[in-house]
A and B are shown apart, each in its own frame.
Chain A
């Protein structure tokens, strides 16, 4: 079946550090891939998406590239801010329409 695996958290970084959150997936066919972010007490917000191999999604300084050969969709940001502290979820969506989420990675950025 389809599944998403994210790196274990929490990830603790200093402000302006480089961020990578690893995400790999298992899926039949060619799913679309998403990153969502959840701030404390809130629902999920779509951060970025990629719908086919080699697509790069980007938003608010975050980037992720759909790598079919390694079945990965790692999230990166060159310089994190305290306001980026949140839980990040990698997800895939296949033709069944169902969104499958990873376990989430908590990011804490310290000043």
Chain B
């Protein structure tokens, strides 16, 4: 069974540009969550999608957005990139959403560098 696949693994962008990251969850999983990991702030929750609907949202500006497709694949978009957006972006896949005992499986992440 394939794991969570995130593409691309590495990205370098310039300030002011926008970027789209992709996540393919484990087959059969309907929930996809996104996290930002930085040395200073640690792991911070961005948002969660379940069956194409955003269920939860973290405390990030509107420049961060996401969506989920009918095949459960998800994309997140960051517009007007800032230097502080440089981070490892992690996607997590779960079978169900909103259930506390559900295990989350993570992809290897996309390392975004903004210059």
A103 interface residue per 8 A CB criterion: yes
Give the CA-CA distance A98 to B4 in the complex, in Å: 18
- Which residues in A have their C-beta under 8 angstroms from that of B71? none
Flag if B101 contacts A32 (CB, 8 Å). Answer: yes
A56 interface residue per 8 A CB criterion: no
Chain A count of residues within 8 A CB distance of the other chain: 26
- Most chain B beta carbons < 10 A, residue from A30, A36, A98, A102: A98
Flag if B98 contacts A99 (CB, 8 Å). Answer: no
A42 interface residue per 8 A CB criterion: yes
**Closest CB in chain A relative to B10 CB, distance in Å:** 11
In the complex, what residue of chain B is closest to A31 when comparing beta carbons? B100
In the A-B complex, the 10 residue pairs with the closest CB atoms? A97-B98, A43-B106, A101-B43, A44-B106, A51-B101, A43-B108, A32-B100, A32-B101, A103-B42, A93-B100
